[in-house]
Structure 1
Protein backbone atom coordinates (compact mmCIF):
# COMPACT_ATOMS: atom_id res chain seq x y z
CA UNK A 1 0.00 0.00 0.00
CA UNK A 2 1.49 3.30 -1.06
CA UNK A 3 0.57 6.91 -1.49
CA UNK A 4 -2.10 9.14 -0.04
CA UNK A 5 -5.87 8.96 -0.45
CA UNK A 6 -8.66 11.05 1.05
CA UNK A 7 -11.75 9.87 2.89
CA UNK A 8 -14.65 12.33 2.82
CA UNK A 9 -17.83 11.61 4.80
CA UNK A 10 -20.87 13.28 3.24
CA UNK A 11 -24.37 13.85 4.58
CA UNK A 12 -26.50 16.25 2.53
CA UNK A 13 -23.23 17.85 1.47
CA UNK A 14 -24.05 18.76 -2.13
CA UNK A 15 -23.26 22.43 -1.59
CA UNK A 16 -19.81 21.85 -0.15
CA UNK A 17 -18.57 18.75 -2.00
CA UNK A 18 -17.67 20.26 -5.41
CA UNK A 19 -14.99 22.60 -4.07
CA UNK A 20 -13.63 19.99 -1.66
CA UNK A 21 -13.29 17.29 -4.31
CA UNK A 22 -11.93 19.71 -6.93
CA UNK A 23 -9.16 20.78 -4.57
CA UNK A 24 -8.24 17.15 -3.82
CA UNK A 25 -8.08 16.46 -7.56
CA UNK A 26 -5.74 19.41 -8.10
CA UNK A 27 -3.54 18.04 -5.30
CA UNK A 28 -3.47 14.62 -6.97
CA UNK A 29 -5.19 12.95 -4.02
CA UNK A 30 -7.83 10.33 -4.98
CA UNK A 31 -11.02 10.66 -2.96
CA UNK A 32 -13.27 8.03 -1.44
CA UNK A 33 -16.63 9.50 -0.41
CA UNK A 34 -18.64 7.65 2.24
CA UNK A 35 -22.20 8.88 1.92
CA UNK A 36 -24.30 8.84 5.08
CA UNK A 37 -27.71 8.45 3.41
CA UNK A 38 -27.78 11.91 1.82
CA UNK A 39 -31.14 13.13 0.57
CA UNK A 40 -29.61 15.57 -1.89
CA UNK A 41 -27.29 15.20 -4.89
CA UNK A 42 -24.16 14.38 -2.85
CA UNK A 43 -23.66 10.94 -4.42
CA UNK A 44 -24.16 12.19 -7.98
CA UNK A 45 -21.75 15.08 -7.40
CA UNK A 46 -19.10 12.76 -5.92
CA UNK A 47 -19.39 10.31 -8.81
CA UNK A 48 -19.27 13.11 -11.39
CA UNK A 49 -16.07 14.37 -9.76
CA UNK A 50 -14.48 10.93 -10.22
CA UNK A 51 -14.57 9.93 -6.55
CA UNK A 52 -15.16 6.38 -5.44
CA UNK A 53 -18.40 6.27 -3.46
CA UNK A 54 -19.51 3.98 -0.65
CA UNK A 55 -23.16 4.36 0.34
CA UNK A 56 -24.50 3.83 3.84
CA UNK A 57 -28.19 2.96 4.02
CA UNK A 58 -28.56 5.37 6.94
CA UNK A 59 -26.56 8.08 8.69
CA UNK A 60 -23.92 6.08 10.56
CA UNK A 61 -22.28 9.10 12.17
CA UNK A 62 -18.92 10.70 11.57
CA UNK A 63 -16.56 8.16 13.14
CA UNK A 64 -18.23 4.98 11.92
CA UNK A 65 -18.41 6.27 8.35
CA UNK A 66 -14.76 7.36 8.38
CA UNK A 67 -13.74 3.96 9.71
CA UNK A 68 -15.52 2.30 6.81
CA UNK A 69 -13.73 4.55 4.35
CA UNK A 70 -10.30 3.96 5.85
CA UNK A 71 -10.82 0.20 5.87
CA UNK A 72 -11.81 0.34 2.19
CA UNK A 73 -8.78 2.41 1.21
CA UNK A 74 -5.56 0.89 -0.10
CA UNK A 75 -3.31 3.90 0.55
CA UNK A 76 -0.42 3.97 2.99
CA UNK A 77 -1.68 7.25 4.46
CA UNK A 78 -5.24 8.53 4.56
CA UNK A 79 -6.35 12.14 4.69
CA UNK A 80 -9.61 12.52 6.60
CA UNK A 81 -11.35 15.57 5.16
CA UNK A 82 -14.68 17.19 5.96
CA UNK A 83 -16.72 18.18 2.89
CA UNK A 84 -16.42 21.87 3.83
CA UNK A 85 -12.61 21.77 3.80
CA UNK A 86 -10.73 22.99 0.74
CA UNK A 87 -7.04 22.12 0.50
CA UNK A 88 -4.88 24.93 -0.79
CA UNK A 89 -2.19 24.30 -3.45
CA UNK A 90 0.74 22.34 -2.06
CA UNK A 91 -1.05 21.23 1.11
CA UNK A 92 -0.91 17.51 0.34
CA UNK A 93 2.78 17.70 -0.59
CA UNK A 94 3.55 19.57 2.65
CA UNK A 95 1.75 16.93 4.73
CA UNK A 96 3.57 14.12 2.93
CA UNK A 97 6.90 15.89 3.49
CA UNK A 98 6.14 16.19 7.20
CA UNK A 99 5.38 12.46 7.39
CA UNK A 100 8.76 11.72 5.82
CA UNK A 101 10.53 14.16 8.15
CA UNK A 102 8.90 12.75 11.30
CA UNK A 103 8.09 9.09 10.57
CA UNK A 104 7.51 8.35 14.25
CA UNK A 105 4.71 10.92 14.55
CA UNK A 106 1.14 9.66 14.54
CA UNK A 107 -1.14 12.40 13.25
CA UNK A 108 -0.55 15.38 10.97
CA UNK A 109 -2.89 18.29 10.34
CA UNK A 110 -2.72 21.37 8.13
CA UNK A 111 -3.07 24.98 9.20
CA UNK A 112 -6.83 25.39 9.14
CA UNK A 113 -8.12 28.82 8.15
CA UNK A 114 -11.69 29.74 9.13
CA UNK A 115 -14.16 31.71 6.95
CA UNK A 116 -13.30 34.96 8.76
CA UNK A 117 -9.61 34.48 8.02
CA UNK A 118 -8.64 33.36 11.51
CA UNK A 119 -6.18 30.52 11.95
CA UNK A 120 -7.84 27.70 13.89
CA UNK A 121 -5.62 26.26 16.59
CA UNK A 122 -6.94 24.63 19.75
CA UNK A 123 -4.30 25.11 22.46
CA UNK A 124 -5.62 22.37 24.71
CA UNK A 125 -7.89 19.35 24.78
CA UNK A 126 -10.09 17.91 27.47
CA UNK A 127 -8.20 14.63 27.00
CA UNK A 128 -4.62 15.78 26.34
CA UNK A 129 -2.23 13.68 28.46
CA UNK A 130 0.74 15.81 27.48
CA UNK A 131 1.38 19.40 26.35
CA UNK A 132 -1.22 20.42 28.91
CA UNK A 133 -2.34 24.04 28.94
CA UNK A 134 -4.65 24.53 31.93
CA UNK A 135 -5.04 28.27 31.34
CA UNK A 136 -5.86 27.83 27.70
CA UNK A 137 -3.16 30.26 26.58
CA UNK A 138 -3.39 30.56 22.81
CA UNK A 139 0.06 31.10 21.32
CA UNK A 140 -0.27 30.29 17.64
CA UNK A 141 2.62 28.30 16.14
CA UNK A 142 4.64 30.03 13.44
CA UNK A 143 5.96 26.79 12.01
CA UNK A 144 5.60 23.03 12.40
CA UNK A 145 4.87 22.14 16.02
CA UNK A 146 3.68 19.36 18.28
CA UNK A 147 0.11 19.98 19.44
CA UNK A 148 -2.21 18.67 22.18
CA UNK A 149 -5.08 18.30 19.70
CA UNK A 150 -5.65 18.13 15.95
CA UNK A 151 -9.07 18.79 14.48
CA UNK A 152 -10.88 15.91 12.79
CA UNK A 153 -11.96 18.40 10.11
CA UNK A 154 -8.72 17.58 8.31
CA UNK A 155 -5.96 15.26 9.44
CA UNK A 156 -3.59 12.72 7.96
CA UNK A 157 -2.69 9.39 9.51
CA UNK A 158 -0.90 6.21 8.51
CA UNK A 159 -3.65 3.78 7.63
CA UNK A 160 -2.03 0.87 9.48
CA UNK A 161 -1.72 2.91 12.67
CA UNK A 162 -5.30 4.13 12.46
CA UNK A 163 -6.59 0.58 12.09
CA UNK A 164 -4.26 -0.80 14.77
CA UNK A 165 -5.70 1.73 17.23
CA UNK A 166 -9.24 0.73 16.28
CA UNK A 167 -10.01 3.88 14.29
CA UNK A 168 -12.54 6.31 15.67
CA UNK A 169 -14.50 5.08 18.68
CA UNK A 170 -17.76 3.81 17.18
CA UNK A 171 -19.73 4.40 20.38
CA UNK A 172 -19.54 8.10 19.49
CA UNK A 173 -22.01 9.28 16.86
CA UNK A 174 -20.72 12.84 16.69
CA UNK A 175 -18.27 15.13 18.56
CA UNK A 176 -15.13 14.39 20.59
CA UNK A 177 -14.15 11.45 18.38
CA UNK A 178 -11.13 13.47 17.25
CA UNK A 179 -10.15 14.27 20.85
CA UNK A 180 -10.42 10.58 21.64
CA UNK A 181 -8.30 9.55 18.66
CA UNK A 182 -5.67 12.16 19.50
CA UNK A 183 -5.52 10.81 23.06
CA UNK A 184 -5.00 7.23 21.90
CA UNK A 185 -2.32 8.25 19.41
CA UNK A 186 -0.51 10.17 22.16
CA UNK A 187 -0.89 7.25 24.59
CA UNK A 188 0.76 5.07 21.93
CA UNK A 189 3.80 7.34 22.12
CA UNK A 190 3.20 9.08 18.79
CA UNK A 191 3.26 12.85 18.37
CA UNK A 192 0.53 15.06 16.93
CA UNK A 193 2.09 17.46 14.42
CA UNK A 194 0.70 20.76 13.16
CA UNK A 195 2.09 21.28 9.63
CA UNK A 196 2.24 25.01 9.07
CA UNK A 197 3.02 24.99 5.34
CA UNK A 198 -0.07 22.92 4.58
CA UNK A 199 -3.11 25.20 4.42
CA UNK A 200 -6.78 24.23 4.30
CA UNK A 201 -9.80 26.53 4.20
CA UNK A 202 -12.63 25.44 6.48
CA UNK A 203 -16.23 26.39 5.80
CA UNK A 204 -17.26 25.48 9.38
CA UNK A 205 -20.86 24.35 9.57
CA UNK A 206 -21.28 23.92 5.81
CA UNK A 207 -20.68 20.17 5.73
CA UNK A 208 -24.40 19.42 5.82
CA UNK A 209 -27.49 21.29 4.75
CA UNK A 210 -29.75 22.70 7.52
CA UNK A 211 -32.57 20.45 8.73
CA UNK A 212 -35.31 20.70 11.38
CA UNK A 213 -34.14 19.74 14.85
CA UNK A 214 -30.48 19.94 13.89
CA UNK A 215 -29.56 22.30 16.74
CA UNK A 216 -31.19 20.10 19.39
CA UNK A 217 -29.56 16.99 17.96
CA UNK A 218 -26.15 18.65 17.73
CA UNK A 219 -26.25 19.90 21.31
CA UNK A 220 -27.51 16.51 22.53
CA UNK A 221 -24.51 14.76 21.02
CA UNK A 222 -22.05 17.39 22.23
CA UNK A 223 -23.20 16.91 25.82
CA UNK A 224 -23.41 13.13 25.57
CA UNK A 225 -20.03 12.69 23.90
CA UNK A 226 -18.25 14.97 26.36
CA UNK A 227 -19.63 12.88 29.21
CA UNK A 228 -18.70 9.64 27.45
CA UNK A 229 -15.05 10.53 26.79
CA UNK A 230 -14.68 12.04 30.27
CA UNK A 231 -15.76 8.77 31.86
CA UNK A 232 -13.65 6.77 29.41
CA UNK A 233 -10.47 8.44 30.68
CA UNK A 234 -11.39 8.69 34.35
CA UNK A 235 -12.23 12.39 34.32
CA UNK A 236 -15.10 13.91 36.33
CA UNK A 237 -18.48 13.48 34.65
CA UNK A 238 -19.60 16.92 33.41
CA UNK A 239 -23.24 15.85 33.03
CA UNK A 240 -24.59 17.19 36.36
CA UNK A 241 -23.10 20.64 35.79
CA UNK A 242 -24.25 20.62 32.16
CA UNK A 243 -27.81 19.99 33.31
CA UNK A 244 -27.57 22.57 36.09
CA UNK A 245 -26.48 25.25 33.63
CA UNK A 246 -28.78 24.40 30.73
CA UNK A 247 -32.09 23.35 32.28
CA UNK A 248 -32.96 26.81 33.68
CA UNK A 249 -31.96 28.41 30.38
CA UNK A 250 -34.20 26.02 28.48
CA UNK A 251 -37.10 26.76 30.84
CA UNK A 252 -36.67 30.52 30.46
CA UNK A 253 -36.46 30.16 26.68
CA UNK A 254 -39.71 28.16 26.73
CA UNK A 255 -41.46 30.84 28.80
CA UNK A 256 -40.26 33.48 26.36
CA UNK A 257 -41.36 31.32 23.40
CA UNK A 258 -37.83 31.32 22.02
CA UNK A 259 -37.64 28.08 20.08
CA UNK A 260 -33.95 28.48 19.26
CA UNK A 261 -33.09 28.72 22.96
CA UNK A 262 -35.24 25.70 23.81
CA UNK A 263 -33.45 23.62 21.16
CA UNK A 264 -30.00 24.82 22.16
CA UNK A 265 -30.22 24.52 25.93
CA UNK A 266 -32.77 21.72 25.96
CA UNK A 267 -30.56 19.65 23.68
CA UNK A 268 -27.59 20.04 26.01
CA UNK A 269 -29.64 19.14 29.08
CA UNK A 270 -31.21 16.13 27.35
CA UNK A 271 -27.83 14.81 26.20
CA UNK A 272 -26.40 15.14 29.69
CA UNK A 273 -29.43 13.40 31.21
CA UNK A 274 -29.11 10.56 28.71
CA UNK A 275 -25.46 10.12 29.65
CA UNK A 276 -26.33 10.04 33.36
CA UNK A 277 -28.94 7.38 32.69
CA UNK A 278 -26.46 5.24 30.78
CA UNK A 279 -28.18 5.63 27.43
CA UNK A 280 -25.98 5.12 24.35
CA UNK A 281 -25.76 7.67 21.56
CA UNK A 282 -26.25 4.81 19.13
CA UNK A 283 -29.59 3.99 20.78
CA UNK A 284 -30.80 7.51 20.06
CA UNK A 285 -29.83 7.16 16.41
CA UNK A 286 -31.28 3.66 16.05
CA UNK A 287 -27.86 2.14 15.39
CA UNK A 288 -27.45 -0.13 18.39
Structure 2
Protein backbone atom coordinates (compact mmCIF):
# COMPACT_ATOMS: atom_id res chain seq x y z
CA UNK A 1 0.00 0.00 0.00
CA UNK A 2 1.21 3.55 -0.68
CA UNK A 3 2.68 5.45 2.24
CA UNK A 4 0.96 8.63 1.03
CA UNK A 5 -2.46 9.16 -0.55
CA UNK A 6 -3.81 12.54 -1.62
CA UNK A 7 -7.36 13.64 -0.86
CA UNK A 8 -8.82 16.30 -3.15
CA UNK A 9 -12.30 17.78 -2.74
CA UNK A 10 -13.75 18.99 -6.03
CA UNK A 11 -16.76 21.21 -6.71
CA UNK A 12 -17.01 22.47 -10.29
CA UNK A 13 -13.23 22.15 -10.44
CA UNK A 14 -12.81 20.91 -14.02
CA UNK A 15 -10.55 23.81 -14.98
CA UNK A 16 -7.87 23.14 -12.35
CA UNK A 17 -8.27 19.46 -11.48
CA UNK A 18 -6.20 18.06 -14.41
CA UNK A 19 -3.12 20.02 -13.36
CA UNK A 20 -3.51 19.00 -9.72
CA UNK A 21 -3.89 15.30 -10.51
CA UNK A 22 -1.12 15.32 -13.11
CA UNK A 23 1.31 16.77 -10.58
CA UNK A 24 0.31 14.13 -8.02
CA UNK A 25 0.81 11.37 -10.59
CA UNK A 26 4.25 12.75 -11.43
CA UNK A 27 5.10 12.43 -7.73
CA UNK A 28 3.65 8.86 -7.67
CA UNK A 29 0.96 9.88 -5.19
CA UNK A 30 -2.42 8.16 -5.75
CA UNK A 31 -5.48 10.32 -5.24
CA UNK A 32 -8.94 10.05 -3.76
CA UNK A 33 -11.19 12.72 -5.28
CA UNK A 34 -14.39 13.53 -3.40
CA UNK A 35 -16.73 15.25 -5.83
CA UNK A 36 -19.18 17.57 -4.08
CA UNK A 37 -21.99 17.34 -6.63
CA UNK A 38 -20.13 19.14 -9.42
CA UNK A 39 -22.15 20.33 -12.40
CA UNK A 40 -19.17 20.06 -14.72
CA UNK A 41 -16.94 17.09 -15.64
CA UNK A 42 -14.88 17.10 -12.43
CA UNK A 43 -15.77 13.51 -11.49
CA UNK A 44 -15.16 12.20 -15.01
CA UNK A 45 -11.82 14.01 -15.22
CA UNK A 46 -10.76 12.42 -11.94
CA UNK A 47 -11.79 8.96 -13.11
CA UNK A 48 -9.95 9.41 -16.41
CA UNK A 49 -6.84 10.36 -14.44
CA UNK A 50 -7.04 7.10 -12.49
CA UNK A 51 -8.17 8.56 -9.18
CA UNK A 52 -10.53 6.83 -6.79
CA UNK A 53 -13.70 8.93 -6.95
CA UNK A 54 -16.40 9.40 -4.34
CA UNK A 55 -19.47 11.09 -5.82
CA UNK A 56 -21.54 13.00 -3.28
CA UNK A 57 -25.17 13.52 -4.20
CA UNK A 58 -24.93 17.07 -2.91
CA UNK A 59 -22.29 19.49 -1.68
CA UNK A 60 -21.27 18.19 1.75
CA UNK A 61 -18.90 21.05 2.50
CA UNK A 62 -15.11 21.12 2.46
CA UNK A 63 -14.23 19.53 5.80
CA UNK A 64 -16.92 16.86 5.73
CA UNK A 65 -15.95 15.81 2.20
CA UNK A 66 -12.29 15.61 3.22
CA UNK A 67 -13.24 13.42 6.16
CA UNK A 68 -14.89 10.99 3.75
CA UNK A 69 -11.83 11.01 1.52
CA UNK A 70 -9.46 10.29 4.40
CA UNK A 71 -11.65 7.41 5.57
CA UNK A 72 -11.52 5.99 2.04
CA UNK A 73 -7.70 6.16 1.88
CA UNK A 74 -7.39 2.71 3.38
CA UNK A 75 -3.89 1.47 4.08
CA UNK A 76 -2.17 4.84 3.68
CA UNK A 77 0.06 5.90 6.53
CA UNK A 78 -0.17 9.60 5.64
CA UNK A 79 -2.74 11.60 3.74
CA UNK A 80 -2.10 14.79 1.81
CA UNK A 81 -5.14 17.06 1.91
CA UNK A 82 -5.01 19.66 -0.83
CA UNK A 83 -7.26 21.99 -2.81
CA UNK A 84 -7.80 21.20 -6.51
CA UNK A 85 -6.06 24.47 -7.46
CA UNK A 86 -2.85 23.31 -5.77
CA UNK A 87 -0.10 21.67 -7.83
CA UNK A 88 2.92 19.99 -6.31
CA UNK A 89 6.36 21.01 -7.51
CA UNK A 90 8.84 18.16 -8.20
CA UNK A 91 10.05 16.56 -5.00
CA UNK A 92 7.38 18.09 -2.76
CA UNK A 93 5.82 14.79 -1.69
CA UNK A 94 9.20 13.24 -0.87
CA UNK A 95 10.19 16.34 1.11
CA UNK A 96 7.02 16.12 3.21
CA UNK A 97 7.53 12.41 3.88
CA UNK A 98 11.16 13.03 4.80
CA UNK A 99 10.01 15.67 7.29
CA UNK A 100 7.63 13.14 8.84
CA UNK A 101 10.57 10.77 9.27
CA UNK A 102 12.67 13.49 10.91
CA UNK A 103 9.90 14.67 13.23
CA UNK A 104 7.57 11.69 13.72
CA UNK A 105 5.95 13.23 16.79
CA UNK A 106 4.67 16.28 14.88
CA UNK A 107 0.96 16.47 14.09
CA UNK A 108 0.73 18.37 10.82
CA UNK A 109 3.14 19.12 7.99
CA UNK A 110 2.63 21.78 5.34
CA UNK A 111 4.67 22.76 2.28
CA UNK A 112 5.83 26.20 1.23
CA UNK A 113 2.81 27.62 -0.60
CA UNK A 114 3.56 29.94 -3.51
CA UNK A 115 0.75 32.21 -4.74
CA UNK A 116 0.12 33.14 -8.42
CA UNK A 117 2.05 36.42 -7.97
CA UNK A 118 5.08 34.53 -6.68
CA UNK A 119 4.47 35.51 -3.06
CA UNK A 120 5.20 32.95 -0.37
CA UNK A 121 1.99 32.57 1.63
CA UNK A 122 2.46 32.31 5.38
CA UNK A 123 -0.32 32.79 7.90
CA UNK A 124 0.78 35.46 10.39
CA UNK A 125 -2.05 35.08 12.89
CA UNK A 126 -5.26 33.23 13.66
CA UNK A 127 -8.40 33.88 15.63
CA UNK A 128 -7.87 30.59 17.45
CA UNK A 129 -4.28 31.01 18.52
CA UNK A 130 -3.83 31.63 22.25
CA UNK A 131 -0.04 31.71 21.85
CA UNK A 132 0.42 33.90 18.77
CA UNK A 133 0.28 37.57 19.72
CA UNK A 134 0.39 39.38 16.39
CA UNK A 135 -2.49 41.87 16.22
CA UNK A 136 -1.06 43.70 13.22
CA UNK A 137 -0.60 40.50 11.24
CA UNK A 138 3.12 41.12 10.71
CA UNK A 139 4.59 38.63 8.25
CA UNK A 140 7.97 37.14 9.09
CA UNK A 141 8.05 34.02 6.90
CA UNK A 142 10.53 31.29 7.83
CA UNK A 143 13.58 30.74 5.67
CA UNK A 144 13.76 27.01 6.38
CA UNK A 145 11.90 24.25 8.18
CA UNK A 146 10.17 25.62 11.27
CA UNK A 147 7.43 25.02 13.78
CA UNK A 148 4.41 27.18 12.95
CA UNK A 149 1.44 28.38 15.00
CA UNK A 150 -0.99 27.58 12.20
CA UNK A 151 -0.87 26.03 8.74
CA UNK A 152 -3.03 26.70 5.69
CA UNK A 153 -5.68 24.13 4.86
CA UNK A 154 -4.87 24.56 1.16
CA UNK A 155 -2.28 21.78 1.55
CA UNK A 156 -1.63 19.70 4.66
CA UNK A 157 -0.08 16.30 5.33
CA UNK A 158 -1.10 14.31 8.38
CA UNK A 159 -0.81 10.76 9.65
CA UNK A 160 -4.13 9.16 8.73
CA UNK A 161 -4.61 7.36 12.04
CA UNK A 162 -3.89 10.53 14.04
CA UNK A 163 -6.29 12.58 11.89
CA UNK A 164 -9.11 10.13 12.59
CA UNK A 165 -8.24 9.85 16.30
CA UNK A 166 -8.26 13.60 16.84
CA UNK A 167 -11.74 13.89 15.32
CA UNK A 168 -10.95 14.87 11.72
CA UNK A 169 -12.33 18.19 10.50
CA UNK A 170 -15.21 19.42 12.66
CA UNK A 171 -18.31 18.08 10.83
CA UNK A 172 -20.46 21.00 12.03
CA UNK A 173 -18.47 23.42 9.87
CA UNK A 174 -19.53 23.59 6.23
CA UNK A 175 -16.86 26.02 5.08
CA UNK A 176 -14.15 28.29 6.60
CA UNK A 177 -12.12 27.94 9.81
CA UNK A 178 -12.07 24.15 9.61
CA UNK A 179 -8.30 24.27 9.13
CA UNK A 180 -7.81 26.74 12.00
CA UNK A 181 -9.91 24.50 14.22
CA UNK A 182 -7.89 21.41 13.26
CA UNK A 183 -4.59 23.22 13.88
CA UNK A 184 -5.83 24.37 17.30
CA UNK A 185 -6.77 20.83 18.31
CA UNK A 186 -3.47 19.42 17.08
CA UNK A 187 -1.54 22.09 19.01
CA UNK A 188 -3.66 21.52 22.12
CA UNK A 189 -2.82 17.80 21.90
CA UNK A 190 0.86 18.67 22.32
CA UNK A 191 1.96 17.99 18.76
CA UNK A 192 3.89 20.43 16.61
CA UNK A 193 2.81 21.97 13.32
CA UNK A 194 5.75 21.90 10.92
CA UNK A 195 6.36 24.15 7.92
CA UNK A 196 8.47 22.17 5.43
CA UNK A 197 10.32 24.76 3.40
CA UNK A 198 11.80 22.36 0.87
CA UNK A 199 8.38 21.10 -0.21
CA UNK A 200 6.94 23.65 -2.62
CA UNK A 201 3.44 23.82 -4.11
CA UNK A 202 1.73 26.35 -6.33
CA UNK A 203 -1.68 27.64 -5.23
CA UNK A 204 -4.18 29.12 -7.67
CA UNK A 205 -6.07 30.86 -4.81
CA UNK A 206 -9.77 31.17 -5.51
CA UNK A 207 -9.76 28.94 -8.59
CA UNK A 208 -10.91 25.74 -6.87
CA UNK A 209 -14.48 26.20 -8.09
CA UNK A 210 -16.00 27.85 -11.13
CA UNK A 211 -17.95 31.09 -10.52
CA UNK A 212 -21.64 30.70 -9.72
CA UNK A 213 -24.52 33.01 -8.97
CA UNK A 214 -24.85 33.80 -5.27
CA UNK A 215 -21.39 32.44 -4.48
CA UNK A 216 -20.17 35.62 -2.76
CA UNK A 217 -23.24 35.86 -0.49
CA UNK A 218 -23.04 32.17 0.41
CA UNK A 219 -19.30 32.31 1.04
CA UNK A 220 -19.56 35.37 3.27
CA UNK A 221 -22.48 33.79 5.15
CA UNK A 222 -20.41 30.75 6.04
CA UNK A 223 -17.34 32.81 6.88
CA UNK A 224 -19.30 34.88 9.42
CA UNK A 225 -21.12 31.85 10.84
CA UNK A 226 -17.96 29.75 11.18
CA UNK A 227 -16.09 32.59 12.86
CA UNK A 228 -18.83 32.87 15.46
CA UNK A 229 -18.96 29.10 15.89
CA UNK A 230 -15.25 28.57 16.54
CA UNK A 231 -15.08 31.64 18.80
CA UNK A 232 -17.78 30.14 20.99
CA UNK A 233 -16.22 26.68 20.80
CA UNK A 234 -12.98 27.93 22.36
CA UNK A 235 -14.48 30.47 24.75
CA UNK A 236 -13.23 33.53 22.88
CA UNK A 237 -14.98 36.89 22.79
CA UNK A 238 -18.14 36.55 20.73
CA UNK A 239 -17.87 38.48 17.43
CA UNK A 240 -21.53 38.10 16.46
CA UNK A 241 -23.11 41.38 17.56
CA UNK A 242 -20.29 43.58 16.31
CA UNK A 243 -20.09 41.69 13.02
CA UNK A 244 -23.84 41.87 12.56
CA UNK A 245 -23.99 45.61 13.23
CA UNK A 246 -21.00 46.55 11.04
CA UNK A 247 -21.98 44.40 8.08
CA UNK A 248 -25.67 45.28 8.23
CA UNK A 249 -24.71 48.97 8.09
CA UNK A 250 -22.36 48.40 5.15
CA UNK A 251 -25.01 46.37 3.33
CA UNK A 252 -27.54 49.17 3.83
CA UNK A 253 -25.09 51.79 2.52
CA UNK A 254 -24.35 49.58 -0.50
CA UNK A 255 -28.07 49.33 -1.19
CA UNK A 256 -28.40 53.12 -1.08
CA UNK A 257 -25.77 53.55 -3.77
CA UNK A 258 -26.99 50.50 -5.70
CA UNK A 259 -23.69 48.67 -5.32
CA UNK A 260 -24.62 45.04 -5.86
CA UNK A 261 -21.20 43.64 -4.93
CA UNK A 262 -21.39 45.34 -1.55
CA UNK A 263 -24.92 44.12 -0.92
CA UNK A 264 -23.85 40.51 -1.57
CA UNK A 265 -20.64 40.73 0.41
CA UNK A 266 -21.85 42.59 3.49
CA UNK A 267 -25.37 41.22 3.35
CA UNK A 268 -23.97 37.68 3.38
CA UNK A 269 -21.79 38.45 6.40
CA UNK A 270 -24.70 40.04 8.26
CA UNK A 271 -26.98 37.11 7.47
CA UNK A 272 -24.40 34.59 8.68
CA UNK A 273 -23.88 36.48 11.93
CA UNK A 274 -27.65 36.74 12.44
CA UNK A 275 -28.05 32.98 11.86
CA UNK A 276 -25.36 32.28 14.46
CA UNK A 277 -27.09 34.65 16.90
CA UNK A 278 -30.36 32.78 16.42
CA UNK A 279 -28.70 29.39 16.87
CA UNK A 280 -29.17 28.23 13.30
CA UNK A 281 -26.51 25.79 12.11
CA UNK A 282 -24.52 25.93 8.89
CA UNK A 283 -25.62 22.40 7.99
CA UNK A 284 -29.26 23.35 8.37
CA UNK A 285 -28.76 26.17 5.88
CA UNK A 286 -27.36 23.69 3.37
CA UNK A 287 -30.06 21.10 4.02
CA UNK A 288 -27.58 18.62 5.48
CA UNK A 289 -29.22 18.07 8.88
TM-score tier after normalising by the smaller chain length: over 0.9
Question: For residue 242 of structure 2, what is the aligned residue in structure 1?
Answer: 241
- Asked if 2 retains the 8 angstrom alpha-carbon contact of 1:131 and 1:147, the reply is no
The answer to whether the aligner puts 1:169 opposite 2:161 as a matched pair is no
Alignment correspondent of 1:90: 91
User: Quick one: distance in 1 between partners of 2:91 and 2:249?
Assistant: 49
Task: Summarize deviations over 1:14-62 as a string: whole Å, max 9, x none.
Answer: 0010000000000110000000000000011101111110110000000
SS of the aligned residue for 1:78 comes to strand
Partner of 1:53: 53
Deviation at 1:138, TM superposition (A): 1.3
Instruction: Give the TM-score taking structure 1 as reference length.
Output: 0.98
SS of equivalent to 1:253: helix
Q: Which residue of structure 2 aligns with residue 202 of structure 1?
A: 203
Measure the CA separation in 2 of the matches of 1:276 and 1:189: 33
Residues 129, 183 of structure 1: 8 Å contact kept: no
Unmatched runs of 5 consecutive residues or more in structure 1: none
Scaled by the length of structure 2, the TM-score of the pair is 0.98
- Does structure 2 conserve the Cα–Cα contact (< 8 Å) formed by 1:246 and 1:269? yes
Deviation of the 1:133 alpha carbon: 3.1
Q: 2:59 aligns to what SS in structure 1?
A: coil
User: How far is 1:123 from its partner?
Assistant: 1.6
Trace 1:1-288 onto structure 2 (pairs within 5 A). 3-74=3-74, 75-288=76-289
Q: CA deviation at 1:257?
A: 1.3
Q: How many residue pairs align between the two structures?
A: 288
Check whether the contact 1:123–1:147 (CA below 8 A) recurs between aligned residues: no
SS in 2 for 1:156: strand
Show structure 1 runs of 4+ deviating over 2 A: 129-137
Q: 1:216 offset after TM fit, Å?
A: 0.2
> 1:101 offset after TM fit, Å?
0.4
Q: State the shift of 1:131 in Å.
A: 4.3
In structure 2, the gaps of 5 or more residues are: none
